[in-house]
């Protein structure tokens, strides 16, 4: 399987917003989108997106994981950027129609079909720095992806940055490309300077998230993570893991964590990143003030694997979906 997110299905679905209304969605061959050089998105970053997956069950049927929640989060992102808010029924049906037409492209588990709805402002107006785009394009593309941990899970090394935030507080919970751009420079600098994989942003000592994933601590009895606020992304995988952890008997502690406490807890707790692509990625080492701190024994831990397996069993239909998370196609 090619590198994650580099292979695409031959069709995508798109719909325009103009004259104050959403038009009729169109399914068409994937290809370049004609855009005016003055489009709002190029100059004022009016864009948001989602990322989630469809899976193939043992009987061959396709099912989409937490479609309603991703649509709802995209509506919130659009509203925060003052973009036209997609209609929930319209966007949901666009995703369902695309998955239905591309169901044969869904790899066998643990592979999946990664789905990327994207909304961009298209109004041709370079004088609209302080005004929202009155026109927009919403589209959904699909990418077959394989097992993220093919060859085994590698424990990550993180730089603990106790000064900078990943992004601005007013856009922290918005899934917009600008947040990822803001984190890119510090992440690349940290990779070059310390040989790390990611930066754990902890502004003023408050442990938040990395550039593309939420952060959790796990023990045999407890899951600890920062409570939701506007400063960081409200991950759907994070929410799924917390709900499953509670059902499996873990104590779920959503509370603020300081860097000082984090550096103490990793002696006994597993550290993981949660996100759509990998579900849970183990962390084996932290770098803080030039010092390397090993997370437990430095290897992936059993609690992350237990929680990942529980979630993937539901996603692939090997365990009952008692939460109503799956949308059949």
Helix (H), strand (E) at residue 101: helix 88-101
Active-site hit among 124, 175, 226, 306:
175
- Of 84, 51, 274, which Cα lies nearest the Cα of 177? 51
Sign of the Cα torsion 272, 275, 280, 285 reads negative
d(CA 223, CA 271): 10
Q: Rounded to 5 degrees, what are φ and ψ at 100?
A: -60, -40
Contact 117, 138 (CB under 8 A): yes
Asked if 186 and 161 touch (Cβ cutoff 8 Å), the reply is: yes
Count CA atoms within 13 Å of residue 133 on its CB side: 31
Q: Where are the alpha helices (DSSP H) in 166-218?
A: 177-194
Task: For residue 8, give the 3-state DSSP assignment.
Answer: coil
Whole-number Å distance between alpha carbons of 38 and 133:
11
Q: Counting runs of H as helices and runs of E as strands, what totals does the chain give?
A: 7, 17
DSSP-derived 3-state class of residue 315: helix
Strand 279-288 versus strand 222-225 pairing type: unpaired
φ and ψ at 117, to 5 degrees?
A: -70, 140
76 belongs to the catalytic site: no
Cα dihedral across residues 164, 168, 169, 174: positive or negative = negative
Task: Just list the catalytic residues.
Answer: 175
């Amino acid at each position: 399987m090619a590198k994650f997110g580099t292979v695409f299905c031959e069709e995508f679905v798109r719909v325009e917003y103009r004259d104050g209304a959403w038009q009729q969605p169109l399914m068409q061959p994937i290809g370049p989108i004609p855009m005016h050089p003055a489009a709002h998105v190029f100059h004022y970053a009016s864009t948001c997106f989602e990322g989630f997956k469809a899976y193939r069950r043992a009987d061959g049927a396709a099912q989409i994981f937490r479609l309603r929640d991703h649509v709802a989060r995209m509506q919130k992102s659009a509203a925060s950027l003052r973009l036209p808010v997609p209609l929930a029924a319209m966007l949901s049906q666009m995703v369902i129609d695309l998955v239905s037409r591309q169901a044969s492209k869904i790899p066998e588990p643990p592979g999946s079909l990664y789905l990327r709805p994207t909304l961009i402002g298209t109004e041709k107006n370079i004088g609209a720095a302080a005004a929202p785009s009155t026109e927009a394009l919403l589209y959904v593309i699909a990418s077959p992806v394989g097992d993220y941990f093919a060859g085994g899970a590698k424990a990550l090394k993180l730089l603990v940055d106790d000064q900078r935030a990943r992004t601005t507080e007013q856009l922290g919970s918005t899934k917009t490309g600008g947040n990822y751009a803001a984190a890119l420079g510090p992440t690349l600098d940290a990779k070059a300077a310390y040989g790390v994989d990611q930066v754990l942003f902890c502004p003023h000592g408050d442990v938040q998230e990395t550039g593309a994933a939420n952060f959790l601590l796990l023990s045999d009895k407890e899951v600890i993570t920062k409570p939701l606020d506007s400063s960081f992304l409200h991950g759907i995988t994070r929410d799924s893991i917390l709900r499953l952890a509670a059902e499996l008997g873990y104590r779920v502690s959503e509370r603020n964590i300081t860097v000082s406490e984090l550096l103490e807890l990793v002696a006994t707790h597993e550290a993981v990143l949660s996100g759509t692509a990998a579900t849970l990625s183990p962390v084996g080492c932290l770098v803080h003030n030039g010092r390397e701190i090993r997370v437990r024994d430095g290897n992936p831990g059993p609690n992350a694997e237990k929680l990942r397996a529980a979630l993937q069993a539901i996603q692939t239909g090997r365990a009952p979906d008692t939460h109503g998370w799956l949308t059949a196609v």
